[in-house]
Amino acid sequence: MIKTELTTIEGRNPVFEAVAANLPIEKIYISNKAYGSQISKIIAAAKEKGVPFKAVPPDKIDELAKTEANQGIVAVCAEVSYVTVADILNRAKEKQEPPFVIIADEITDPHNLGAIIRTANCTGAHGVIIPKNRSAGVNPVVFKTSAGAAAHTPVARVGNLTQAMNELKENGLWITGADMAGEQEMCDADLTGPIALVVGSEGRGITKKIRAGCDFFVRIPMAGEINSLNASVAAAVLMYEALRQRRLK
């Protein structure tokens, strides 16, 4: 495991998932004006796991929070774990499934990255790979947007994305790029085997160097006047197509 700092996790579902996933939480702060079944559920889980929690005035929550959607609760963490590419591949091996990996190429918007991690978890991807440079990291906004999925989905943050892709290839994965000019529509491509799906940023798409390392490209069929999707939406469509094919196999 590779450690990195993460200041806060905010919002009721993200905090609950962080407790459930045994993330290293130093303390949970709960507004004394916050009520409801989810708050009770978090308190019960914190007691069970031995995680300290404290009721505080709403102003204290606002002081600690880094987003505006804290829902009256903030968990302060010492660190969160990034994994290695090998860890992601081992996860697929343990599940006895063909590896399914998502590569986020220079996704700088933390909301997009959080949404991609959330969908990766929902579709059974074994992990997400991001570059250290020119990319959002797993920060409080990413954690919040992922609805807690970042606590369960392994994320590898690598210094050289090309080297990571080569490591995947050496382990039998095909590198599949998402591109509106791809040679195959997603429904015609075989996404059932060991694959890594590369998603580029909005505007730029997949960078030139990473494109050169892709084995083939797939496109999403379009029927309207607009011929492009938000990066996280495009990633979601392709991930669910991969899940559909894998379930039919």
- What does the H/E/C string look like for 175-222? EEEECCCCCEECCCCCCCCCEEEEEEECCCECCHHHHCCCCEEEECCC
Regarding whether 128 and 113 lie in a shared domain, the answer is yes
Q: Within this chain, do residues 73 and 171 fall inside the same structural domain, yes or no?
A: no
Over 60: is that where the pLDDT of 3 sits? no
For residue 76, the surrounding DSSP H or E stretch is strand 73-77
CB neighbour list of residue 125: distance below 8 Å, 6 or more residues apart: 100, 101, 102, 153, 239
Q: Of 39, 12, 42, 9, which Cα lies nearest the Cα of 26?
A: 9
Residues 75-94 pLDDT 10s: 988 666 789 999 999 999 99
Of 80, 115, 140, which residue sits at a domain end? 80
Kindly report, residue by residue over 162-200, the tens digit of the pLDDT.
999 999 999 999 999 998 888 899 999 999 999 999 999
Pairing mode, if any, of strands 8-10 and 73-77?
antiparallel
Of 175 and 223, the one with more pLDDT: 175
Whether residues 106 and 54 fall in one domain: no
For residues 134 and 200, is the Cβ–Cβ distance under 8 A?
no
Quickly tell me which residue has 């979601």 as its tokens: 236
Residue 227, both tokens: 């011929």
Domain residues for 208? 83-248
**CATH number of residue 219's parent domain:** 3.40.1280.10
The per-residue pLDDT for 1 is: 46
What is the percentage of the chain residues whose pLDDT exceeds 70?
96
pLDDT of 37 > 90? The answer is: yes
Query: In the predicted model, what is the mean pLDDT of the chain?
Result: 89
Q: Does 148 share its domain with 240?
A: yes
Does the structure show a pLDDT above 90 at 138?
A: no
Domain termination residue (choose one: 57, 80, 103): 80
Coil, strand or helix at 82: strand
How confident is the model at residue 80, as a pLDDT?
63
Residue 6 scores a pLDDT above 60: no
Asked if residue 99 has pLDDT above 90, the reply is yes
What's the total number of domains in the chain?
A: 2
How far apart (Å, rounded) are the C-alpha atoms in residues 138 and 127?
Answer: 13
My answer on whether 243 and 208 are in the same domain is: yes
Query: Do 75 and 149 reside in the same domain of the chain?
Result: no
- Among residues 80, 111, 128, the one where a domain terminates is 80
Contacts of 155 (CB under 8 A, 6+ apart): 82, 83, 117, 127, 128, 129, 130, 138
Q: pLDDT tens for residues 121-134?
A: 999 999 999 998 88
pLDDT band at 4 (very low <50, low <70, confident <90, very high): very low
In a shared domain, residues 44 and 129: no
- CA dist 129 and 18 (Å) reads 20
Query: What mean pLDDT is predicted for residues 63-69?
Result: 83
